[in-house]
Amino acid sequence: MPIKGKVADRLQSSMLSVPGRYKVANALMLKGAWLCCVLGGVVFGLPALLIMFSVSLWQKELRHDLPYVLVLGAAGLCLDTLWLHTGVLDYGSAAVGLPLGLTLAPAWIVMLWLAVGLSIRHSLIFLVNRPLFGALLVGCGSPLSYLTGERFGAVEIPSMDGLVVLAAVWIGLFFAVFSWAKTRLTTD
């Protein structure tokens, strides 16, 4: 069953409630957050992410967005740290070194995952309605995102073979997330 504007119906009291306006604003904020995080790390990424959180709070959507933010934030931290340790990706000095030789993915990449969580119910809702298509689109597009990040100097990709594994994992993850979101949104 497709989601029929349940999320949009809750937005009727704001200037962003004009049909599609909040979705467009959210998509622009997501793209802006990507650019800010990739080009400026935490210094530019944090303000962009705070704007997304502020708008979600202002729209009275944060309570509904938070489960996706938390799940994708944790998944992103784990996955990008895994990619770092398995040699799929190299974040260089941006990786977070902890005691006992443990290294985590940089904060800016986790912030991107949080931004995606803030977009699941809004600009990415069309993918939630079609979980398999959405998962394939996002999963197959993920290597392109990392390759673009490499061009900007944010990450190094030692071997292109790892990107195939990365894409496959993203397909599985986002199929699960989009299916979960669709189930939650159709039962609300």
Residue 129 has pLDDT above 80, yes or no: yes
Amino acid identity at 42? V
C-alpha closest to that of 158 among 148, 167, 147, 168: 147
φ, ψ of residue 104 in degrees (nearest 5)? -110, 160
**Within a domain: residue 1?**
no
Count of the separate structural domains present in the chain: 1
**Within a domain: residue 113?**
yes
Are 49 and 115 contacting, i.e. CB atoms less than 8 angstroms apart? Answer: yes
Q: What whole-number distance in Å separates Cα of residue 13 and Cα of residue 61?
A: 12
Residue 8 has pLDDT above 50, yes or no: no
Are 64 and 22 contacting, i.e. CB atoms less than 8 angstroms apart? Answer: no
Q: What whole-number distance in Å separates Cα of residue 171 and Cα of residue 135?
A: 5
For residue 13, give both structure tokens.
Answer: 């009291």
Residue 146 has pLDDT above 70, yes or no: yes
For residue 160, give both structure tokens.
Answer: 């292109």
- Percent of the chain scoring above 70 in pLDDT: 89
Residue 134 has pLDDT above 90, yes or no: yes
Greatest mean pLDDT among 9-18, 21-30, 112-121 lies in 112-121
Q: What pLDDT does residue 15 have?
A: 42
22-61 confidence digits (pLDDT tens): 889 999 999 999 999 999 999 999 999 999 999 999 989 9
- Percent of the chain scoring above 90 in pLDDT: 80
Greatest mean pLDDT among 20-24, 154-158, 183-187 lies in 154-158
Average pLDDT across the chain, whole number: 90
**Within a domain: residue 65?**
yes
**Within a domain: residue 78?**
yes
User: Averaged over 106-114, what is the pLDDT?
Assistant: 97
**Within a domain: residue 31?**
yes
**Within a domain: residue 169?**
yes
156: β partners: 90
Residue 67 has pLDDT above 80, yes or no: yes
pTM of the predicted model as reported, rounded to 2 decimal places: 0.89
Q: What pLDDT does residue 100 have?
A: 86
Range of the domain at 118: 6-187
User: Averaged over 62-78, what is the pLDDT?
Assistant: 97
**Within a domain: residue 34?**
yes
Residue 18 has pLDDT above 90, yes or no: no
